[in-house]
Each structure stands twice: as C-alpha cells, then as structure tokens.
Amino acid sequence: MGGAWKTTSAGETWYPIFDAVEASSVGAIEVAPSDPNIIYVGMGDLITGGSINEGNGVYKSTDAGKTWQHLGLDQTKQIPSILVDSRDPNVVLLAAQGDVHKKSDTRGVYRSTDGGKSWTRTLYVDDSTGAQKITWAFDHPEIMLATTVRHYATPPTGPARYGAIGGGGGGGAGAGAAQGISQTKLFKSTDEGGTWHEITGGGLPRLIGRTSVAIAIGTNAQRMYLIGNFGLYRSDDGGTTWRQMDAADRRIANGQGGYNCGVYVDPRNSDVVYTVNTAMYKSTDGGNTFTGFKGAPGGDDPQQLWIDPTNGQRMLMGLDQGAVVRSALASAATRAPSRRSTGIRCRDGSGGAKPPIR
C-alpha cells in the first residue's frame, strides 16, 4: 500500500527500493543534496482524511536505497515533511503530526545533527497540534518557516470516517470529527530550526486549516509565500509584512485546502509561482495573476510538486491518480507538462491513490 521508488532515468521509469520495510504509507522522502546515497523517509499519511494509515517514524538509507535503518520517532505517527541540510547530510529536520486518535506530546518539529541517531524537539505547540509543513531557502537554510495545525479528533463511529483534519475542505473525504481547527500557526527560525518564533499580524489573516509555505531562492530569504483556504499571501521582507495576492481568483484557494494545498517557487525566478489545489496553477508575476498549468479546469487533484533547485525546467508532480508527471518545459512558458507512465500506483484503504513524491 505504501513505499518508495527510485528513478535513474529522470522520471521515465521507477523501481521500488522500500519493499524490505513493511510500510502502510509514506508521507515524506528526502535525498541529501550533498550526498545522493543518503535518503530519509518519514512514515504515515501525508494528510488525514478518509481512512488513516499511521507510520512508525523515520528510516534512513546510506547506500541509495539498497538497505534501510530505522531511526526511531515511532510515536510521531504521521510525518508530512522532511528537510536535509544542503551542505551537511547529518542535519535533518522533520514535521511530526502525531497521533490523531489521542493527545500526545510526540508532535512538532524535530531536529537531528548526527544523521538521525538522536532527535531534539525544537517546536511544540500543545498535545493536540502537529507540525505540517517545514521549508527553508535552499541558499539560506538557516532561515526556515514552519506551519502547525490541530491534529486530534474523536474517533468516528458507525460509517463515518475522518474528514481532512485541519480542514477547510476535505475534497470528498467522509464526515470528520475534528475538534476545532484552531492552532493553525506560522513560525520562523533564523538558526536552522534550533529555535522558533511565531509570526502574527503584518497583514496576515486569521490562519485556519492546512497551509503550505515556500521561500524563494535568490531573494536573501526575503520573498515568502503562504497559502491556505484563506488565500495566497506574499511577503517581501522575510515575513514581517504580508499582502494577499490575486484575491479575486478563487481557483487559487477554493475551499479544498484540507486535501490539496501547496505553493512552490521557481528556483531561478521568484515571480514564477505554482499553486496546488484541485488543479495546478501558475503565475509569472509574483502571484498577481494565475493561469491553469495542469488539470484545469477539470482537476487532477495534484498533491506534490518537486522543482529541481538547479533547473526550474525539470519537475516531478504527484497526482491523486498515482502517476508521476514529468515536465521539461524547454522554452515554452505556457506548455503544459506531459504525463509519463511509470507503473507507480499505490492506493490507501479509502480508495484514493497515494501521490508519489520523489
């Protein structure tokens, strides 16, 4: 039902590398930029909706996926985000959602400086709130953003299932029992996740539900984007002030942010922005206007987009349908990405395909 795959053909074909591990679901995977032999995998569903597949912590490979070592953090249950320092593969940070069934303190942002041998929790809100997204500027990894969301619900009874916890739209998931959607917060670190402070005010709306953040390369970590069901917001001063972008275009954050939610920036141009919702949209003017990029208007329910940090023309996309979509845009700015058949198709218990990440 879950796993990890590897490509050596730029996304044309993939083969499994995680079959030796009993995996119900993988929420995050990260290859160390300075050493591609080192891979970290975080277990558990990326989002909570329909049925829930919980994980048992973190795994690491030092031989490009041939063998795996369990690094603990079993009780984190769902790990939706992992980052590895671009210079030092031993510096790792991850977001932990925690147990949706009960209150616990195994939530927040965890950091390791010894390759996962030991972990320190550096961001914690409370026993019902998990970290959902962490990001940094690839060229300034000391500057980080993290978002949190309430991640605890009373178990449903009868035919009801969990909705998209952290909600604001479940994308068709069953009736939820989320105990409120407060505790959606935005945090910033200036010491690579060692300490955090909450960002409030400055034009930010009341944050609610699931969110996603991005920091643009080449802006001295000043250009930041934040998206959720409340809309798309941009900061040009490192998070001190924010303004809403393209507020009239409801396609950008149309109420399904509890299921599809993402914002990504081209590594060579901070004005080229991609947003994930029922479809993927693209802006070339810093978020002022958007056009359909993939799946619009019908919707592919994209879940993930990876943009090569050294070449914005190379992309991998994970859709609800389970396909990996590769894009080589060449010089055509409006050319839609092409879908490549890869053989990767993983389903969870609710019948929805799990999106491959990379």
In order of 246, 306, 320, the CA distances from 298 in angstroms are 21, 22, 13
pLDDT for position 157:
57
pLDDT for position 62:
98
Encoded amino acid at 93, one letter: L
Token pair 């949706």 in the structure block, residue: 100
CA distance 204 to 243: 7
Token pair belonging to 162: 């969990």
pLDDT for position 1:
54
Asked whether the beta carbons of 357 and 318 are under 8 A apart, the reply is yes
Q: What is the DSSP string of 116-142?
A: TSS-EEEE---TTEEEEEEEEETTEEE
- The number of C-alpha atoms within 13 Å of 329 and in the hemisphere containing its C-beta is 17
pLDDT for position 253:
65
**Residue 49's closest CA among 172, 184, 167, 163?**
163
pLDDT for position 347:
46
Asked whether the beta carbons of 11 and 326 are under 8 A apart, the reply is yes
**Residue 58's closest CA among 100, 103, 12, 18?**
18
pLDDT for position 152:
77
pLDDT digits (tens, 9 = 90+) for 300-331: 666 778 888 888 888 887 766 555 556 554 33
**Residue 42's closest CA among 88, 103, 109?**
109
Q: Which residues of the chain have pLDDT under 50?
A: 159-160, 162-164, 167-180, 329-341, 347-358
Question: Which distant-in-sequence residues (6+ apart) come within 8 Å of 273 by Cβ?
Answer: 214, 225, 263, 264, 265, 266, 282, 283, 286, 287
pLDDT for position 350:
36
pLDDT for position 176:
34
Domains belonging to the chain, first-starting first, are 46-56+74-317 (2.130.10.10)
